[in-house]
Amino acid sequence: MVNLEKTSREIHKVLRATWRCYDVDTEHCDKAGVGDAVRQRALCTDLTIVGPALLNETSLGPLVINGSLFDTGKPVLVVPEGAEATLSPRRVLVGWDSRVEASRSIREALHLQAGAEEVRVAVVDPEATCTGNGAEPGADIAAYLTRHGARVWVDRLASRGKPVATVLAQHAIDTSADVIVMGAYGSRWLRERLSGSVIRWIVGTPLPLFLAR
């Protein structure tokens, strides 16, 4: 409780300096109630931001992300230690696999992508689309983003046996991306609620992740 009150005061101090309207709420509950406490608050927000302090708490990080992401349908911005979070990124990497969850993540992050200098749509181990018009993989979502004012390039990548998440993270580094946008349920590695192994991958990723499902 002492640590909770100390953190609350520190957050008040930071927010007061921004001259914005704000509210700081605290909740002291056992581990079983963490997901529901987060869910109740996330339902009334546009975006939940999860920082490194929670991510490094391996017993709490998955509960917070699951409560905000899977139980509300609202997007989450995950910020690992050392990553610089911004809502005005210059370069955005989008993980695209033609699934509903990936589409939702792109729609939820339109405000990030429309204002970026560069949006790179990454398609890992792509297969030709079955639209009957000969469109290349990724061309459909690139056209969608372009209509919303984004400057889009499509990168078709081969996994060469590596996990999709690893390929995306490396490509984000190679393209100097500021944030990775991806669906949190369509990819095989995130089809279940976030596990310890996925949290470890997130913690080891040097970039913020914008997740939606």
170 is written with which tokens? 């490396």
Residue 54: pLDDT above 80?
A: yes
Provide mean pLDDT across the span 175-194: 70
Ramachandran class of 162: left when φ > 0, alpha when ψ lies in -120 to 50, beta otherwise:
beta
pLDDT tens digits, 80-125: 888 888 989 999 999 998 888 899 999 999 999 999 999 999 999 9
Residue 180: pLDDT above 80?
A: yes
Provide the percentage of residues in the chain whose pLDDT is more than 70.
87
- CA pair distance 172, 175, nearest whole angstrom: 5
What is the per-residue pLDDT for 189?
45
What is the per-residue pLDDT for 133?
53
Determine contact, residues 55/28, Cβ cutoff 8 Å.
no
Give which of 58, 121, 76 is closest to 94, Cα–Cα. Answer: 121
What's the pTM value of the predicted model, to 2 decimals?
A: 0.84
What is the per-residue pLDDT for 129?
43
pLDDT tens digits, 119-176: 999 999 987 544 445 578 899 999 999 999 999 999 999 999 888 888 898 999 999 9
